[in-house]
Amino acid sequence: MAPLLAWILLAAPPPAHPPVEALLAAHGLGAPERTARLDAVAQGLADRLGGTTPPDPRTASGHLRWLMQAQGLGDAVVYPFTLRHRDPEEVAPALTRLVAQIDRKQPPTHLGVATRAVGDEQVTAVVLVHRGVRFDAPLPRSAPLDTVLRLSGDLRRGYYRPRVVVQPPTGPIRERPAWTDQRRLEVNVYLDAGPGAYGVEVLADSVDGPVVLVNHPIHAGEPPPSRPTVKLAPEGADTAEHLLALVQGQRAQAGLPHLRPHDVLVRVAGEHAVELAASGRLTHRSADTGTLRTRLKAAGLGAALSAENLAQAPDAHAALEAFRRSPGHARNLLLPQLTHAGVARAGAFWVLVMAALPPDAPAP
């Protein structure tokens, strides 16, 4: 699954050191731990917004992702807020509006804050993350080819049965269980499939279904990128039909047959996309409709195999890139047993539902 990003730019003036910790505590969000690595990420955001050339908002997510990776951080749930300010009186209302958009089921556990002076104004960046697993050591950006990396850390309460999905530069996607009896994550990652980027994703179960906790690339036999790389979508790449065409292209490149559009799958995807947009969060499990399996059953479809990909993205190309960056989602795209698909979009939320159905599956 794709990483959760809530990017907000407000012309609200806080002081040089906004009372983020106090505000979070006042709203019942506890006391997140401030870290030097997240401070460095926040500084990168403040420097970007405070530059002489206004940044392209379409590149914001890619820049944040690169800053996180440079600090060895792969947290999948990130709440980055950027504020331009002058008058201290407007700080509290502005931060209150920001805090109100945080998902209470995945509250911030760690934060970073940084400020940059820009003329008679200041730019302050706040980066909040929900950290589901606390690694014993920062994730490496690169490692020698054929290295065996040992990933270990403590699992946050509320998550269980962690596993690691690895997308090597060549060959099939791999999944390994990673849990111990002591609520620890312990697993080996093998960088043995040639040079390139190995996508490493940590998933765990929760009361809301499977959750992506970490998504981090490790470059083996090559240097990591020295600057962010962002692909801007061409005009007209903002429809569900366009995303389905991109998915078909991915399957064709892998020698797999196209997925046949199915009206019921489109409806199931559309209803879930609307629900995601209303809640403002990516989740496979709904309090009203349950899981994908229960949604398909309620729609009258009994699929031998089904898969659901979710993304929060500005266009179809960005949604596909989010799928491809997630080893679990990337694997779903190329499951050979799948035969039909339905895609829907509601605002920035994209839902792709795929299923293995008989050729004469009804499409009421």
Domains and CATH numbers, the chain: 4-131 (3.40.33.10), 134-220 (2.60.40.10), 240-356 (3.40.33.10)
44 by DSSP, 3-state: which?
Answer: helix
pLDDT tens across 118-153, in order?
888 888 889 999 999 999 999 999 999 999 999 999
CA 126 to chain centre: 18
- Is the pLDDT score of 106 beyond 90? no
- Is the pLDDT score of 260 beyond 90? yes
Q: What is the pLDDT of residue 249?
A: 95
pLDDT tens across 291-331, in order?
899 999 999 998 889 999 999 988 899 999 999 999 999 99
- Is the pLDDT score of 15 beyond 60? no
Q: Return the closest-CA partner of residue 177 out of 163, 191, 167.
A: 163
Q: Which two tokens mark 358?
A: 């008989």
Those residues whose C-beta lies under 8 Å from the C-beta of residue 344, and which sit 6 or more positions away, are: 240, 266, 269, 270, 272, 273, 350, 351
Q: Return the closest-CA partner of residue 73 out of 216, 251, 273, 284.
A: 216
More reliable by pLDDT, 55 or 10? 55
Rounded to whole angstroms, how far apart are CA atoms 37 and 210? 27
Residue 257 DSSP label: P
- Is the pLDDT score of 337 beyond 50? yes
- Is the pLDDT score of 57 beyond 60? yes
- Is the pLDDT score of 16 beyond 70? no
pLDDT tens across 159-212, in order?
999 999 999 999 999 999 999 888 899 999 999 999 999 999 999 998 877 889
pLDDT tens across 340-356, in order?
999 999 999 999 999 99
Rounded to whole angstroms, how far apart are CA atoms 45 and 260? 42
46 by DSSP, 3-state: which?
Answer: helix
140 by DSSP, 3-state: which?
Answer: coil
Task: Compute the CA torsion angle 318, 349, 131, 206 (nearest 10 deg).
Answer: -130
- Give first-to-last CA distance, the chain, whole Å: 29
Mean pLDDT of 223-233: 76
For the chain, the average pLDDT equals 86
